[in-house]
Structure 1
Amino acid sequence: MNLRRLLRDNRGFLLFLLGLGVLRTAVADWNPIPSASMRPTLLEGDVVLVNRLAYDLKLPLTDVVLLPLGEPRRGDVVTLNSPAGGTRLIKRIVGLPGDRVALRDDVLILNGQPLTYTTPQSHGETLTPGWVVDAVRTTEQLPDRPHAVQILPAIRARRDFAEITVPAGQYFLLGDNRDNSEDSRYIGTVPREKLIGRAHHVLVSADWLGEDGWRLAPRFDRWVTAIR
């Protein structure tokens, strides 16, 4: 009896929680950025908004597609369930089904054409507190979606791979922090059903790990900003 009364008295709150759960699992979501793989586009401590209906309506909590709603586009920043273990990742689509993709000395080659890059700018990049390395930032002229990328010359990384053709229904994804990203160079191409949604805005942001160790400082200049 007490349980029934408790449920009755809190029916509105329980319905709110149920609706919030459905919203996050089927419609929209927000995800914190835990790693540096998308620097400089996304920073650790950013919280991004994800449109789960950008591509497909799915059965909540599964990869089962109920209804296709839109087509992933080259340059979209997406969240995904990694096909190599199920870890949730956030990367950028650089290759669509049927595209030929290669990488040569950190230069992306798309359908036989090397992309162009703006004049690189050097700066120091903190990998861990007390460890600063040289980094190079430039704008990669991806068709219809130019965006910033970062290269870390001092880090051992996979800067080359032979041309592959992206299979039907799959996508080739890279992190913007090219030399510090677990992406399609390592996990392979990503089936469409593994794409969770398109990340479109940074909702809030805070610097949670500075050069001197733990700290928490809001980055108000990044709040409610579009992801490019």
Structure 2
Amino acid sequence: MLGKILRHFVVPRATLAADKLGALLKGESSFRVQGRNMEPTLSQGTICRYRSLSSEEQMAPGSIVAFIHSEFSGHIVPSRVLAGPNDTIEITDGELVVNGQKVVEPYIRRDFSVGEYSTQLPKQTVPSGSYFLLGDYRDASQDSRYFGPVPRSTILGLIVERA
């Protein structure tokens, strides 16, 4: 009986604790996705692990990051980096254009991006030290289209794993 208790309760909890400790030692943290802004890539309830970034480290376009913004009452939110410091970005007729080049976005569903909010964005330049973040579910995402480019200091890290 004691063996059964150990196998079903103690060992799994010890394994989970070891996983969390390993993540902390690698500079990683985790959070649970609370909204639908990144569907279909990340569903509500998905647990994501993110890795802290060094102050000099740049984020590549298309990367998914964890960030905090006052609009979300201190909650950690995932979003996709689509333009970096000094890049130009616009959306015309549903097509994302960064630095004059159309961006292929295989991660979004076109039926999640039909409203004017999602299909039109006047051309703008991302300020130095900031990033332009968009959710994959464009019609349901409050992102840089809503509150503007995000300062680098509010980006917690790069999402490295999701479960």
TM-score by length of 2: 0.76
Structure 1 partner of 2:40:
40
| 1:81 corresponds to 2:68 | yes
| 1:148 corresponds to 2:107 | yes
Deviation at 1:112, TM superposition (A): 1.5
Aligned partner of residue 109 in structure 1, secondary structure: strand
Q: How many residues align?
A: 142
Structure 1 partner of 2:153:
193
The runs of 5 or more residues in structure 2 that have no matched partner are 1-16
Aligned partner of residue 51 in structure 1, secondary structure: strand
Aligned CA-pair RMSD: 2.7
Q: 1:83-162 residue pairs with structure 2 within 5 A?
A: 84=71, 86-116=74-104, 140=105, 147-152=106-111, 156-158=115-117, 159-162=119-122
Task: Please tell me whether Structure 1 or Structure 2 has the larger radius of gyration of its CA atoms.
Answer: 1
Distance, in Å, in 2 between the alignment partners of 1:38 and 1:154 is 12
More strand per residue: 1
* Counterpart pick for 1:174 among 130, 134, 143: 134
Distance, in Å, in 1 between the alignment partners of 2:34 and 2:138 is 16
Distance, in Å, in 2 between the alignment partners of 1:187 and 1:41 is 22
The runs of 5 or more residues in structure 1 that have no matched partner are 1-15, 57-67, 117-139, 141-146, 205-228
TM-score by length of 1: 0.55
Is the Cα–Cα contact under 8 Å of residues 48 and 161 in structure 2 kept in the other structure? yes
Is the Cα–Cα contact under 8 Å of residues 157 and 180 in structure 1 kept in the other structure? no
Task: Determine what percentage of the aligned residue pairs are the same residue.
Answer: 29
